Amino acid sequence: MSMTTARGTYTAKLLDGPLEGRTVAASFLDSGDPQGRIVLPANDRGKKYVYRRNGEISEFVDGTGAPGAVDYSYFGPEFE
């Protein structure tokens, strides 16, 4: 899993949908908060999977209190 650094990355856990059980590295927003929405490519024809933060922080980095892993739920597809 990705470790958090100041405004670095954290692990986004995908809880359901087509990418259920996978994890991806995500960058913190400039405010230091985890992203509210993550968009991941599904294919080369412009389809993308949209995941939204479900409010749960499942892990914290020892000694800093910063999120180390955040849970995301499937919202639906997006097309270009």
What secondary structure does DSSP assign to 31-51, as a single string? TSPPPSEEEEE-STTSEEEEE
Q: Are 15 and 71 in contact (CB under 8 A)?
A: yes
Dihedral sign for Cα 61, 54, 13, 48, please. Answer: negative
Q: What is the pLDDT along the chain (80 residues), one digit of tens a residue?
A: 444 445 689 999 999 999 999 999 999 999 888 999 999 999 989 999 999 999 778 777 887 778 889 999 999 999 98
Q: What is the pTM of this model?
A: 0.82
pLDDT of residue 7: 62
Sorted by sequence, the CB contacts under 8 Å of residue 21 that are 6+ apart come out as 14
pLDDT of residue 3: 43
**C-alpha–C-alpha distance, residues 45 and 35, integer Å:** 25
